[in-house]
Amino acid sequence: MRILISNDDGIEAPGLALAAAAAAKLSDDVWVVAPDGKRTAAGTSLTIARPLTVRRLGGRRFSCSGTPADCVVAAMTWLFRDGAKPDLVIAGVNDGRNVGEDLAYSGTLGVVREATFWGLPAIGFSRVKEPDFRDGDADWLARLIRLLWQNRTGWSVEGHWLSVNLPARLPAPFAQPRIGRDKIARTATVVKDDGNLVELMVPRGREHSSRAGDENSMIAEGFATVNRLNWFGETPLDGAFVEGLGAVGR
């Protein structure tokens, strides 16, 4: 099984090392292509018509100057252009939970969303900050990845991916939460104001707002959470409303 791993915390992130260690227990064909620095909240953005720099760091390990989604594009358009594509894409393990509106902002989930554009099964892993790292974490994560892979027909359909949030301590029981609301970037600090030029700084962090049954409440109870997400859903408009739009041309 060929596994591609990326993240948004950068090539040297401990969570990336954990994901790679877990993947190595499942396959001897593991590739890592990750940003050369932190790209938090990069979402699914791509670098188009500007150069990307990919640096080989040894073996099957590469850093990329672009976004997390760029790492998948670089892998698919260059690294694997003449060879077998990955069987599975893993993102993370992110330094911090991805909940609520993070499902749109997250660079970690930007990796797995981009992977689905290439028809690849993909799982994004995130974990609370300052977790209780233990010696068996990589073994537990490897068992989880193996189980998800073996049961991929239950979740890996076109345009879908998994988002898994891990609590402070592993092993952990699983729950499927309701997607809550816990928006980052709610405030900004004025760093400099020269009249016509204002410099703002948006701080890290969130309120950790929570309602019963959402991701934050489940994580607080020690659960690992899993959601299947997709990128191509739509909500049909009322037919009469659409028909009424024809008036714009009258």
Neighbours of 179 (CB within 10 A): 17
Residue-range domain boundaries for the chain: 2-180+209-249
Helix H or strand E segment including 7? none
Q: Which residues contact 246 (CB under 8 A, 6 or more apart)?
A: none
Q: Hey, which residues does 166 pair with through a beta bridge?
A: 127
CATH class given for the domain over 2-180+209-249: alpha beta
* Predicted local confidence at residue 218, as pLDDT: 94
* Predicted local confidence at residue 20, as pLDDT: 98
pLDDT averaged per 10 residues in sequence order, the chain, 250 residues: 97 97 98 96 92 95 97 97 95 95 93 97 97 95 97 93 96 93 87 92 84 93 95 82 80
Cα separation of 163 and 140, whole Å?
Answer: 17
* Predicted local confidence at residue 184, as pLDDT: 83
Query: How many Cα atoms within 13 Å fall on the side-chain side of residue 207?
Result: 12
* Predicted local confidence at residue 247, as pLDDT: 84
**Residue corresponding to tokens 């892998």:** 75
* Predicted local confidence at residue 206, as pLDDT: 79
CB 30 within 8 A of CB 3: yes
* Predicted local confidence at residue 249, as pLDDT: 67
Strand, helix or coil at 78?
A: helix
Alpha helices in 13-159 (DSSP H): 14-24, 68-74, 102-105, 107-117, 137-150
Burial (0-12, 13-18, 19+ Cβ within 10 Å), 123? buried
Q: Which amino acid is it at 208?
A: H
CB 1 within 8 A of CB 27: yes
Dihedral angle sign, alpha carbons of residues 168, 173, 179, 180: negative
